[in-house]
Amino acid sequence: MHVEKFALGETTYRYFPLKALEREGYDVARLPYSIRVLLENVMRNLDGRDVTREHLEKLARWNPKAPEGEVAIKISRVVMQDYTGVPAVVDLATMRDIAVKMGKDPSLVNPQVPVDLIIDHSVQVDFWGSHEALRRNLELEITRNRERYRFLKWAQQAFRNLRIFPPGTGIIHQVNLEYLARVVMTDGDLAYFETLVGMDSHTTMINGLGVVGWGVGGVEAEAAMLGEPITIRVPRVVGVHLYGEPRPGVTATDIVLAVTEYLRKVNVVDAFVEFFGEGVRKLSVPDRATIANMAPEYGSTTGLFPVDENTLSYLRATGRPEDLVALVKRYYELQGVFGGVEGAEYSQVVEFDLSTVERNVAGPTLPWQRRSLAEAPKSFLTFLQERKKRTQRRAVEIEIDGRRVEFGDGDVAIAAITSCTNTSNPYLLAAAGLVAKKAYELGIRPPPYVKTSFAPGSRAVAELLERSGLQKYLDELGFQVVAFGCTTCIGNSGPLPEPVAKAIKEHDILAAAVLSGNRNFEARVHPDIRAAYLASPPLVVAYAIAGTVLKNLESEPLAYGQGGRPVYLRDLWPTPEEVNRVVEEWLDPKMYVEKYSKAGELVPEWRALEAPSGLLYKWDPGDTYIQPSPLFEGEVKVGDIKGARPLLVLGDSITTDHISPAGNITTDNPAGQYLMSLGVKPSEFNTFGARRGNWHVMVRGTFSSKGYKNKIGNLDGGLTIKFPEGKVMTVFEAAEAYKKEGTPLVVLAGKNYGAGSSRDWAAKGPKLLGVKAVIAESFERIHRSNLTMVGIVPIQLPQGVTVDSLGLEGSETIDVVGLSEGLAPGKEVTLRIHRRDGRVDEVKAKLAVYTWAEVEYIKHGGILPYVLQKLMQKSK
C-alpha cells in the first residue's frame, strides 16, 4: 500500500494515508470514523494471508445498511486486569518452559505488542469508616491473593512488553485513560491510529479519548498480545447525534443513564456507536469517557467520540508530552478525521438532546432502568411488592455504634462512590466533595446503618480532593478512601455491619444500595441486598444522608440540621461554576505524571512481597491458584475424526456461563471436590474467576452449570450418560473415562452456541475435556473464533438440519470426514452418524472456519502452540 511522509518539528514520520484509497476509486469520505480506523489498520498490515485484499474491500466499500463479511485486525496494544490476566500470563510462562525443553532460548517468549496488567479486581471493602481502611484493606488483599501476586510480581521482571501495575494503583480503565493511551502510536518513524483490546468489558471507556478499543475474552486478548490478528465481523455503525447543552446541575452520570436507557430501546447490540454533533463539543473528555464506559450496558461494541480540541486539552491536562499532543493533531488532520467526520454515512442515525436530561438514577436491578429522582421511591415499592409480596414498609429497631435507630425496607445499607465509570471524572468527584462540605457545615450526617465507602479509580483525581480540602468533608461523612480499585460495583463490597446483616436476614428486610457504578444486577452488589441504584457521586452522598431510597430527593428534606431545620438537595447541590472552580484551581498535570511514574512505590505492601526471579517460573505443585498450562501437551493430528462420542447434545443459546461458570465453587461440584481433596476448606474455595490460573479447577468446572439441559437423557446441566455402559456421570467424569479409552468427543448444539460474554475458559475447558469438534446450527461470533484459537473445529449444520432433526440419543458414534484432505475456510465436510441399530446417516456440513489464520491455529492445536512454533523458528 502507498506510504507517505510528513514532518513535525525535526522528526519525519511515515504513515498510510486514507486519501490514497480515494485515488484508487474508493469513496472514503463517506465512511464513519471507526471504519476509517479499521481500514487504516488493514492497509498497514496487508500481507495477503492473515490480512487480505478482500478485508480491505469489505471496509473500503462498506455498506452501511447491510455490512457483510469479516476482517482481520492487528491491535496495537492490550490491557488486562488481574482476574482475566493471570491465565494469559500462565500461558506465557508455560511457553517458556516448553522453549527450554526444545533447546531454545526462553527469553524469546514475550508479548509481541505492549501489554499492561493492572491489579485492581481483588480488593474488598472489609474495612471502612476510618483513615486506616485503605491500608488494612490492601494488606488483607495481598494476604488473600499471595499466590497469584507472587506469580505476577515474578512476571513483571521476567517478560519484555509486559508492565504490571500493583494493587492500589487505580482501576484499569482510569489508568488506561489517564496514562497509558497515546491516541497515535509510533513504531520507529511509522505513525498510526492507536487501537486496543482489553480483558474487561468496560475497556470502551477509552473511546471517550477517541481511541477505538473494546473488551474481549482471554483468548482474543492472547491472540492480540502475541501479534496475531483478531477477526471481527464488519460492524454496523450507529451514529448518535448529540445536540443541546446539559442543564446546570446535570452530571455526566445523569447523561449516561439517560443515553443507556435510550440506546437500549433503539437496539445497538453489537454495533459500533459513534457520537457526533454540536453537543459533543459541550462535553469534556472525562464526561465523554463516563458515557463511553457504559457501552456494554447499552449493548454496543464501542461508544466512540471524535478526537478534537477537547481531546488535546485533556492530553495536556493529564501530563502527556507536548510533542505527542502535536503529533495527535497533525496525524488526525492528515487523515481527515480531526474534529470528527462531517457527512459520514451511518447504518442508522439517532438523535439525543442533552438539554432534556434531568438528575436521575437507574434501578433497582438493571442499568437501563432510568428513573427521575421523583420516580425512584415508587420503583422501589413496586420491587418490594414483587419480591416480598408486601405493600407496606417493614422496619425494626437496631443498635449500631451505640445508637438505637430504625432500619427497614428501602433503607440504604451501602452507599459507595465506586467504579471505573465515574471515579476518574474530576468534575463528578469535586461535586461529591462540595455536597459533603455543605452537608457538614449544615450539621447533617448519614445514619449509622449506612455503610459508606469511597474507592477512587484514580489516585490523581483523589489527590485533587486532598489538595482542595474537600476530602476532609467526605471523611467527616464516612466516605474515607477504602481502596484504589474495583470494589462495590463487582460485588467486592465486603461485609455489612453485623446488626444490619442480622436485621436483613431475621426480619426479611429488603434493603437498598446506592453506588456510582455501571452494573446493579440483583444481588450483584451484595448477596443480602437485592435492590441497587446507580447514581452520580454527589447523589450517592445525598442518598447516604437521606438513608433511604423512599424519599423524593427533589422535593423532600434529606435530613434535619441544626435547630431542626430541614435540609433539601437544593441546599447542598453545587453550581457548575463552583465545580469548575475546584477543578481549574486544583487539577495539575504534574499530579498524573507523579502518581503514575511512581506507581510501584505507592504500595509498600507490594514492594515487601517476596517473589521469585529469573526467566522461568518455579511452579509449586501445592499451589491451588497457579499451575502451568496443559494447552501445549499432546501430539496434534489434524485429520478425519473417527468414532467420536457426543459428550453433550444441547439446545439453543447455550452461553459461556453454562460452559464455564465464573461464580462460586460449591462442594458438590467436581472442582469443589478436587479442592477439598487438597485440604482446601469450602470457606476458602473462592470463585472460578479467582482460580482461572489453575486449569485443574477450571476443567472440572466446564459444563458443570445446572442452568441448562442435556438432551442426552434429558439430564440437568453438569450430567451426561457415558456410553456404551449407559451410566449417568458428571461431564468431567465421563470425559475422563472417554479419554482413558482414547475416544474423541464432540458437542452438538442448536442456535447461537457460545452466547453471552466472551470467556476464554469456555473454549479452553472443552479442549481439555477432549472435545475435538463442536457441531452447531450457529455460533456466537467471538466464541466461534475462540474455538479455533484452542484447536477445536467448529462445524455448522446446513440450513434445514437442526440438532433435534438429527434424532440423537447419545449412544451414536460420529465421524467427521473430509479433514484429512486438508483444511480451508468454509470447507464442506461429511458427518457420518453410526446409530445403535446399525443405520448410518450422512449429513453435509461446513467448517465454521473463516480465515487462513484460523486454519493454522487448528492445524497446530491452537494459537498458543502455533505462535510458540513461529517464535522458535525465528530463533534458528
Close Cβ partners of 443 (under 8 Å, ≥ 6 residues apart)? 561, 562
pLDDT in tens, 465-522: 999 999 999 999 999 999 999 999 888 899 999 999 999 999 999 999 999 999 888 8
Distances (CA, A) of 506 to 19, 400, 448, 509: 69, 16, 19, 8
What are the tens digits of pLDDT across the range 654-685? 988 899 987 788 899 999 999 999 999 998 88
What is the enclosing helix (H) or strand (E) of 197?
A: strand 195-198
Q: Are 147 and 623 in contact (CB under 8 A)?
A: yes
Say what the pLDDT of residue 689 is: 81
Question: How close are the terminal C-alpha atoms of the chain, in Å?
Answer: 30
Phi, psi of 586 (to 5 degrees): -110, -15
Per-residue model confidence (pLDDT) at position 242: 98
Read off the pLDDT band of 395 (50, 70, 90). Answer: very high
pLDDT (0 to 100) of residue 776: 97
Cα angle for residues 213, 205, 363 (degrees, 5° grid): 130
Lowest mean pLDDT among 122-126, 409-413, 612-616: 122-126
CB 307 within 8 A of CB 274: no
What is the residue extent of each domain of the chain?
4-73, 236-306+341-354, 360-597, 641-660+702-859
Q: What is the spatial distance between Cα 663 and Cα 654, in angstroms, rounded to a whole number?
A: 17
Extended beta strands in 347-480, E state: 348-353, 360-362, 370-372, 395-400, 403-408, 412-417, 451-454
Q: Render pLDDT for 19-77 as a digit per residue (tens, 0 to 9).
A: 999 999 999 999 999 999 999 999 999 998 889 999 999 999 999 999 988 899 999 99
Provide CB contacts within 8 A for 616, sequence distance 6+: 93, 96, 97, 100, 106, 158
717 and 710 in contact (C-beta within 8 Å)?
A: yes
Spatial separation of the C-alpha atoms in residues 211 and 116, rounded to whole Å: 16
CA distance 177 to 290: 11
Cell of 588: 495539575
pLDDT given for residue 413 in this prediction: 98
Q: pLDDT at residue 232 above 90?
A: no
Mean pLDDT value of segment 192-203: 94
| Cβ contacts of 427 within 8 Å, gap of 6 or more | 251, 252, 284, 286, 287, 579, 580, 583
CB-based contact 564:427 (threshold 8 Å):
no
How many other C-beta atoms are found inside a 10 Å radius of the C-beta of residue 444?
21
Per-residue pLDDT, 653: 85
Residues 6+ apart with CB under 8 A from 598: none
pLDDT tier, 217 (very low <50, low <70, confident <90, very high otherwise): confident
CA pair distance 316, 454, nearest whole angstrom: 27
State the pLDDT at residue 206. 98
Cβ atoms within 10 A of the Cβ of 387, count?
16
The grid cell for 561 is: 440540621
Tell me the CATH architecture of domain 236-306+341-354. 3-Layer(aba) Sandwich (3.40)
The Cα 521–Cα 331 span in angstroms is 42
Residue 758 pLDDT: 65
pTM of the model: 0.90
Q: Does residue 113 register a pLDDT over 60?
A: yes
Question: 641-660+702-859: what CATH class?
Answer: alpha beta
Contact in structure between 450 and 478 (CB atoms under 8 Å): yes
DSSP symbols for 718-732 = TEEEETTTTEEEEHH
**Cβ-count burial 653-677 (b if 16+ within 10 Å, e if not):** bbbbbbbbbbeebeeebbbbebbee
- The pLDDT assigned to 70 comes to 84
pLDDT at 876 (0 to 100):
57
8 or 875, greater pLDDT: 8
More confident site: 490 or 377: 377
Each residue's pLDDT tens digit, 724-761: 999 999 999 999 999 999 999 999 999 989 987 668 89
Average pLDDT of every residue of the chain: 94
pLDDT band at 604 (very low <50, low <70, confident <90, very high): confident
Confidence at residue 875, expressed as pLDDT on a 0 to 100 scale: 64
Residues 6+ positions from 475 with CB-CB distance below 8 Å: 131
**Fold for domain 360-597?**
Aconitase; domain 3 (3.30.499)
What is the sign of the dihedral through the CA atoms of 302, 365, 368 and 370? negative
**What is the mean predicted confidence (pLDDT) over 223-247?**
93
pLDDT at 867: 87
Average pLDDT over residues 275-279: 97
pLDDT confidence of residue 243: 97
The b-or-e profile of 474-483 (16+ CB within 10 A means b, else e) is bbebbbbbbb
pLDDT at 131: 95
